[in-house]
A and B are shown apart, each in its own frame.
Chain A
Amino acid sequence: MLYRTAGQFKTSYIADQALFPVKQDAFLLGIILTLAWIVFPLTASEFTFQTLLIPILIYALAAMGLNILTGFAGQLSLGTGAFMGVGAYACYKMVTLMPWMNPIVAILLSGVFSAGIGVVFGIPSLRIKGFYLAIATLAAQFFLVWLFEKWAWLYNYNASGAIQVPNLEMFGVFVSGPQAASVTEYYIVLFVVTLLTLLCINLTRGNLGRTWKATRDMDIAAELIGINLMKSKLTAFAVSSYVVGVAGALYVFMWKGAAEPNVFDIPLSFQVLFIAIIGGLGSIMGNYLGAILIVGLPVVLNVVAGTQVFEISTPSAILLVALIAAATFLFWVARSLWGVGAAIGFGAVTLIYGYAQLQGFRIDSALIEHINVMIVGALIIFFLIIEPHGLNQLWRLIREKLIIWPFPH
């Protein structure tokens, strides 16, 4: 009903190949863009910017870069963290050597360096694939982090070995560093992320994207139909590392403000890989959904645990109830009883927790942290069980069912 496609006739090939063949998709995206560009910046607090909005966007971008390589071109990589580091250090060197440089230009250029390094470390992919390639990229991970530690020129011979973001100005407004307002940083991140998402969507829909997918699905067959595997694999490494490098530059310049080499170590690579896998390999939207789950959810749970459930303001209560209702409805449409149970269960647990709070129940922050890790872990397993292909596939299923709703097929 909500997604009824009846009456939306395609009378030309162009209309049929459009980015949004279904009108509701474009409408939904419009709502999301309005929220991201207008509503959030107007309403969000400093805390929301720094712990939810900015990191989710940056992690989603990094996962998107990895997804191009692993999800679209089928080349497994464990070096994402290090490539983010290359972008961050390149950006740091550029803004300290050339302080007159526009910060956004510097961030966009820093990806070029990581693209170069990515291509170099992508050369083994011409001979090896699968797990063996993962190990080759692991070498990049270890080597680059070691280089960040040992090559003092990279961090301007700073005694502590860390890079610290200077206050950068653009048209008289601080855009980076401790003096910058969160909302400015958010808009820059949003601008860069929107730009690169647009680029990635179009690349993966175009000729290059098709060669990548052919390489992924069966490289011998792809070669037989005339696809140059070297070109296909190396362009995937280049584009992927470019996006990842830009994400790394944003990560340090627009969010963290300072970084030591071990920030870019393997846990970061794994985190980005998990976002890509849980979001859905071979998708663009999945990266956002994955980032919301892995980066955003722990923060939200922490906040929920720390607030008095029965003392929250009316708008947030309405929002919470609406979210639970929407999740229940969507899972119900998708005929996923587990999902319905989980959504209702979440609401019930919140109510019980709130009641326990009224009775004077308090948990200390260390215990909250332990429980939080368990919940997030359980949710990851839960989503992978109900939909092994990731959140993006889950949404596609729901959407398909919505189109024919209320009739089961």
Chain B
Amino acid sequence: MLLEINPLVLPDIGLVFWNTVAFLVLLIVLGKFAWKPILKAINDRESGIEEALLKADKMKSEITAMQNENEALLAKAREERATLIKEAKEASEKMVAEAKDKAKSEYDRILADAQVAINQQKNAALAEVKNQVGNLVVEVAEKVLRKELSNKADQESYIKQLADGVKLN
């Protein structure tokens, strides 16, 4: 033979045949029952880990946001409390002041009323006294006049005296 082919590089048809069979069997059986579930499990796990990490990050940011919110709420509450206290203080002060004012005005009013009443009483009393005194004077004067004017001469002199006193002007 011109070209002696080394038996080592001459493929045996038997091995080619069985190898094809073996490879196809492996490819189909392993592809269906090994590679598919294994790769799926690995992928699932990887995506699970990724998801979990993302979730953790999200949670973290959520927690931070919540904390911030809490702080803001707290600050607001504090502020509100402060304003409330302030308002309450103001209100109470106002109430006290108002009460004071009211009490004072009442007192003033009562005082004024009392004074008015006192004055009225006083006036009334004075008027009474005056009336009494007037009546007494009139009675006394009547009695005196009756006694003094029992004679005509005296009467006339007195009238004259009175008439002199009245000046027609």
Mutual binders A and B: no
Residues of A within 8 A of B (CB): none
Residues of B within 8 A of A (CB): none
